[in-house]
Structure formats: C-alpha cells, structure tokens
Amino acid sequence: MFALSALGAFAALPPAPPAAAQTAPAPAAPAPIEADWHDIPDSEILVITLSGGRQVFVRLAPRYAPGHVANIRRLAAEGWWDGTAIYRAQDNYVAQWGDPTDAKPLPPLVIENPPAEYEWPQYDGVAGMSRPDPYAPRTGFSADGWPLGTDGKASWLTHCYGMVGVARDNPPSTGSGAALYAVIGHAPRHLDRNIALVGRVIQGIDLLSTLPRGREALGLYSTAAEQTPILSVRLASQLPEDERPRFQYRATDNPRFAAFIAARENRAEAFFVRPAGGADICNVDPGVRRLR
C-alpha cells in the first residue's frame, strides 16, 4: 500500500514539426473563446471533503484507466473512504490517502488488482510539443486536455503536477484504487508507464501541497494525530443537483491552444532574456474553470 504505484487500435506516430533554426519569442497567444470550454461530466468529478469542510476536486480519466476508475466509482458509491485519512506527504513528491491501517475490506465488485493500465496502443494527441523529452519521443495533449506521451507504439498519461495515481505494491500488484496519491512536487516522470494514472486534481491542490511533511520513510506520518481526516469522498453525480460543482476543461484541438503551446515554448515576456525554444509537457497546462 505504501509503495507508489489507458485501449484501442494502433495509430501511427504523427511526424513532429521540424525544429526551428533558432528560437525567437512567440507572439502572445489569444485567449480561449467560449466555444473552447466544455463541461466535465458529473460522473468524472470526485469530491473529497477533508476535516473542516475543505474540499479537493479530482477529474477522473475513465478513457485511459477504465478498470481503475470503475473501482474508484464503486468505492465512492459505497462511501468507503469516509473516515480514512491522508497518511503520507513526501516532500517534492506526493500526498497519499486511503486506509492508514491497510485493513479495511474492499466493497464487493471492487477488483483488487485490475489490468495494468499504464499505457495503451493508441495516441490521440491533437496538440503536441515541438521537442522530445527524456521520457517520451513525443508528447502532446488529447482534445480534452490530458497530457500524453508516446513512442509510436504505445501512449500514456504523464506524471505532471496534480496528477492522481493508484498506489500499489511491487508487481504483479496494480493497486485497486483504494489508495491514491497526488503529485505535489516536481513531475516524477520516471513513474510514467509504471503506475496507473486515473485523474488530476482540478481544484484544491494547495490543500495537499501545503501539508506538513511526514518524517518517516516515504513521507509517512508516524502518528494518527498527524494525519488529515477524510470526512467523505463522493462523485459529483451522487450529490444533490444544487450541490454539484460544475467544472469545464479547455479544448486543445484549435489554433488558440496551438498558439498557447508556442508561447510557452518561446516566452515573449520582458523578463526572459532568451526563449528556451521548447517546454516540458508538464509546463503547459490547458487548465480548467469552475462555474459553480
């Protein structure tokens, strides 16, 4: 539990754009227009209520990790996380939550070790970065804003800040989803293709990233008093209609987002002495907005 822990037909790797002979500041990217924003379904929003009524909201990624997300939905429907806790906060790495005792039985129909959803044989990126990085020959974004890596044979979600993954033990364990972590430090991309990523924190990451750090190995808290109690975890679809949060993601399949990538790769702000001519996938966040 304490160790950290998406399918379709093969698609050929799109050719990467040619590298520019020299970098130059990109023009300012236009702001997204109203048509670029799309609703996130209630069934894909996990509402985590902490002590004091503080809330963390996670957008789930069922297209990329269907088995693990199905487990997470069952756990939320059963109220399994109620009374559990955030029991680990490792500096520059992750915050992790679930049952600190690792003894609470899983609800019926929750699969203890679903298929390993670490990668899938399809790349559906529509907006890509101009350079490879040490962990992927090509990176880009799905139309609905998920960060992806690909080698032309498989694709995977990338461990960027705020991404949520499934804690697991050593293989063949794949993790049930009862223990989850959120990235609260520098993107640990070495975990890509090794752990199932199931979503991303879209609001409330500050409540996780500012937790006191655990002093035991892996950032575990040594006493229950140090842990942060979890009052409830529910899907937004389980809540009364007037209590459901409403979030929208920014679509990436348009020239405005392509211009946004170019602007992030070649910063034009007066502060920058020299444009970098590239950027890490994790430094280009499409973002979400909350309407209610």
**pLDDT tens digits for 165-200?**
999 999 999 999 999 999 999 999 999 999 999 999
pTM of the model: 0.91
Total residues found in the chain within this entry: 292
Per-residue model confidence as pLDDT tens digits over 86-125? 999 999 999 999 999 999 999 999 999 999 999 999 899 9
Domain count, the chain: 1
pLDDT digits (tens, 9 = 90+) for 206-225: 999 999 999 999 999 999 99
pLDDT digits over 146-166, tens only? 999 999 999 999 999 999 999
Q: What is the extent of the structural domain holding 223?
A: 42-115+161-240
- The answer, yes or no, to whether residue 7 has pLDDT greater than 50, is no
Q: For 61, list phi and psi in degrees, rounded to 5.
A: -120, 70
**Structural domain includes residue 186:** yes
Q: Is the pLDDT of residue 18 over 60?
A: no
Tens-place pLDDT, residues 22-33: 556 777 889 999
Would you place residue 85 in the very low, low, confident or very high pLDDT band (cuts 50, 70, 90)? Answer: very high
Neighbours of 98 (CB within 10 A): 26
CATH number of the domain to which 96 belongs: 2.40.100.10
Whether 98 is covered by a domain: the verdict is yes
Please check whether residue 20 lies inside any domain of the structure. Answer: no
In a domain, 68, yes or no: yes
Would 5 be classed as within a structural domain? no
Q: What is the pLDDT of residue 275?
A: 84
Residue 267 identity? R
Per the domain annotation, does 228 fall within a domain? yes
Q: Who's near 241: CB < 8 A, 6+ residues apart? A: none
Q: Is residue 190 part of a domain?
A: yes
In a domain, 35, yes or no: no
